[in-house]
């Protein structure tokens, strides 16, 4: 496991590399500098880091070549590229290859610290989706694992919407895989040869939203030592993913509305009107409809974003997928952590299936990785190990003390009944609202009520 806030800086210019390292160290990061991509790869063999910052132009392997190697060897490691030769084509290529962000030389302290903090804050969310190298192994082209009715419903709508240019609003609780769905919309669209560029709206202070979204010209503000394209410019010909739009301030909502509505923008400090040739996909875990009623989210922006709503079901509403998801994570994370044959004992799997997993698929994925890394040597992860790690994680376990003859499908049915009953209670008996809470259609909810014997429920 990596040290907290550990950063590897790669730059053949020793003076520049050490200045960046010192700047980050002063801000509380554990920073290491090396002078080449080859040295970086050797260092990464010995220890793990939370972030890598690399110059682009270096003798031997370039920064872009290092990035391509890392996307295979360490796909979970976020990479920021640093260059004195910045251009939109280079930045687009970097983003396409999986760079988390890029910075231009000469740099200033505020920009470096902002970009680093932003990338580190967003890296945990990125892990909700399987790494790029693993996605090719997933059983479906859309990257979603499972065949439950609720997931199939979401998958069908996703595939129907993907070929269009329509704006899609992905809805779902935290950890349900909203970015994975957004990437699938891009991958299955005619724009898949273009870049997929994410922007975490929830991680941006209002003062930086405009420059991050639109970019800026030289001299636009103190510290703007050169022009830099924003996320809209980087996404030209591809998809712009606006994550957590429900966190935007009223002022930022106005700026985003104009972009989505007119598909035009100006860089901060610029006068030229630029065309936004992007497909918009937005996501939120919030109920934007309720926010509109409360006056905290603009109705006109909501309607612009909500052209095609795509609701992702929480894990409790797709328990048929629990076992295949668990086995998938064991396979992928086992391979990444030198335990490719790792398996769960049946009683350990039953205990995991009985838990609430309020963090949904992301929480399950993170816990499976914990098991893979911390379990005693051997291929079989036992019930005792799962109980120990649940306790260490501070989880109050839900017992599964029914007779061992109880089948996993029966347990799923009980859990689904509980999830449906909880949703109906939260919705005060309104089945349309309950369906929205569960991330399924009203028709699917009615079918589930009939199967579970709850048609008489309020």
Dump the DSSP string for 303-332: HHH-SEEEEPPPGGG-GGGHHHHHHHHHHH
Q: Which region among 237-241, 311-315, 451-455 has the lowest average model confidence (pLDDT)?
A: 451-455
Which among 66, 101, 126 is the end of a domain? 126
Q: What is the mean predicted confidence (pLDDT) over 264-293? A: 94
**pLDDT at residue 138 in the model:** 36
Say how many domains are in the chain.
4
Residues 421 and 443 in one domain: yes
**pLDDT at residue 451 in the model:** 75
Residues 358 and 251 in one domain: no
Look at residue 170 and tell me whether its pLDDT is greater than 90.
yes
Using 50, 70 and 90 to split pLDDT, how confident is the model at 88?
Answer: low
**pLDDT at residue 439 in the model:** 76
- Is the residue at 401 inside a domain? no
Look at residue 99 and tell me whether its pLDDT is greater than 80.
yes
Residues 160 and 245 in one domain: yes
Mean pLDDT taken over the chain: 85
Rounded CA-CA distance 212/199 in Å is: 8
Give whichever of 87-91, 297-301, 402-406 has the largest mean pLDDT.
Answer: 297-301
Which among 313, 330, 350 is the end of a domain? 313
359-375 pLDDT, tens per residue? 999 999 999 999 999 99
Which among 262, 287, 313 is the end of a domain? 313
Residues 304 and 321 in one domain: no
- The residue among 331 and 409 whose pLDDT is bigger is 331
**pLDDT at residue 252 in the model:** 95
**pLDDT at residue 119 in the model:** 87
Report the CATH number at residue 71.
3.40.50.2300
Look at residue 430 and tell me whether its pLDDT is greater than 50.
yes
Q: What is the mean predicted confidence (pLDDT) over 200-217? A: 86
Using 50, 70 and 90 to split pLDDT, how confident is the model at 412?
Answer: low
Nearest residue to 267 via CA among 197, 222, 210: 210
Residues 257 and 378 in one domain: no
Q: What is the mean predicted confidence (pLDDT) over 326-339? A: 91
**pLDDT at residue 385 in the model:** 94
141-151 pLDDT, tens per residue? 678 899 888 89
Residues 358 and 447 in one domain: no
- Is the residue at 160 inside a domain? yes
- Is the residue at 402 inside a domain? no
- The residue among 186 and 455 whose pLDDT is bigger is 186
Q: What is the mean predicted confidence (pLDDT) over 318-338? A: 91
223-238 pLDDT, tens per residue? 666 778 889 999 999 9
- Is the residue at 25 inside a domain? yes
Residues 187 and 215 in one domain: yes
**pLDDT at residue 205 in the model:** 81
Residues 95 and 152 in one domain: no
Report the CATH number at residue 422.
1.10.10
Report the CATH number at residue 278.
3.40.50.300
Q: What residues make up the domain containing 200?
A: 141-313
Q: What is the mean predicted confidence (pLDDT) over 50-62? A: 93
Please name every residue paired with 200 in a beta bridge, in sequence order, or none if there are none: 243
Strand 30-34 to 6-10 pairing: parallel
Report the CATH number at residue 382.
1.10.8.60
**Overall pTM > 0.85:** no
Residues in the chain: 458
Q: Which region among 266-270, 377-381, 448-452 has the lowest average model confidence (pLDDT)?
A: 448-452
- Is the residue at 398 inside a domain? no
- The residue among 308 and 114 whose pLDDT is bigger is 308
Give whichever of 70-79, 130-139, 180-189, 435-444 has the largest mean pLDDT.
Answer: 180-189
Residues 216 and 96 in one domain: no
For residues 183 and 196, the answer to whether their CB atoms sit within 8 Å is yes
Please tell me what DSSP assigns to residue 407.
Answer: -
Please tell me what DSSP assigns to residue 100.
Answer: S
103-138 pLDDT, tens per residue? 877 777 877 888 898 888 765 444 434 434 333 333
Chain-centre distance for alpha carbon 404: 37
Q: What is the mean predicted confidence (pLDDT) over 305-321? A: 93
**pLDDT at residue 452 in the model:** 73
Residues 109 and 174 in one domain: no
Share of the chain above pLDDT 90, in %: 55
Please tell me what DSSP assigns to residue 201.
Answer: G
**pLDDT at residue 5 in the model:** 81
Residues 174 and 298 in one domain: yes
Residues 90 and 215 in one domain: no
- Is the residue at 353 inside a domain? yes
Chain-centre distance for alpha carbon 303: 24
For residues 177 and 216, the answer to whether their CB atoms sit within 8 Å is no
């Amino acid at each position: 496991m990596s040290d907290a806030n550990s950063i590897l800086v790669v730059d053949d210019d020793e003076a520049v590399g050490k200045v960046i390292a010192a700047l980050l160290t002063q801000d509380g990061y554990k920073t290491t500098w090396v002078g080449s991509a080859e040295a970086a790869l050797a260092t990464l063999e010995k220890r793990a880091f939370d972030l890598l910052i690399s110059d682009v132009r270096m003798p031997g392997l370039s920064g872009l070549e290092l990035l391509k190697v890392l996307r295979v060897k360490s796909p979970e490691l976020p990479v920021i590229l640093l260059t004195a030769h910045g251009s939109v084509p280079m930045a687009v290529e970097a983003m396409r290859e999986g760079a988390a962000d890029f910075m231009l030389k000469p740099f200033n302290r505020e920009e470096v610290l902002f970009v680093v903090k932003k990338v580190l804050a967003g890296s945990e969310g990125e892990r909700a989706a399987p790494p790029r190298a693993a996605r090719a192994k997933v059983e479906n082209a859309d990257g979603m694992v499972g065949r439950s009715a609720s997931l199939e419903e979401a998958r069908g709508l996703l595939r129907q919407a993907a070929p269009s240019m329509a704006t899609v609003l992905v809805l779902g609780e935290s950890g349900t895989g909203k970015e994975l769905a957004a990437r699938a919309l891009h991958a299955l669209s005619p724009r898949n040869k273009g870049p997929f560029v994410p922007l975490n709206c929830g991680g941006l202070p209002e003062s930086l939203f405009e420059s991050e979204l639109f970019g800026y010209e030289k001299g636009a503000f103190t510290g703007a030592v050169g022009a830099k394209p924003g996320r809209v410019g980087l996404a030209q010909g591809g998809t712009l993913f606006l994550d957590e739009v429900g966190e935007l301030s009223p002022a930022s909502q106005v700026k985003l509305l104009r972009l989505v509505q007119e598909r035009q923008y100006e860089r901060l400090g610029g006068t030229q009107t630029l065309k936004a040739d992007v497909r918009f996909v937005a996501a939120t875990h919030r109920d934007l409809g309720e926010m509109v009623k409360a006056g905290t989210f603009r109705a006109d922006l909501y309607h612009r974003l909500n052209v095609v709503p795509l609701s992702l079901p929480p894990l409790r509403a797709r328990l048929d997928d629990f076992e295949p998801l668990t086995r998938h994570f064991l396979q992928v994370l086992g391979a990444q952590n030198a335990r490719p044959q790792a398996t769960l004992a049946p009683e350990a799997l039953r205990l995991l299936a009985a838990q609430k997993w309020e963090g949904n698929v992301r929480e399950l994925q993170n816990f499976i990785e914990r098991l893979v890394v911390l379990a005693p040597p051997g291929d079989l992860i036992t019930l005792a190990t799962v109980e120990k790690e649940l306790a260490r994680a501070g989880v109050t376990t839900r017992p599964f003390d029914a007779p061992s003859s109880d089948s996993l499908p029966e347990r799923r049915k009980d859990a689904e009944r509980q999830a449906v009953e909880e949703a109906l209670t939260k919705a005060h008996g309104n089945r349309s609202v309950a369906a929205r809470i569960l991330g399924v259609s009203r028709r699917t909810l009615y079918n589930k009520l009939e199967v579970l014997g709850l048609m008489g429920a309020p």
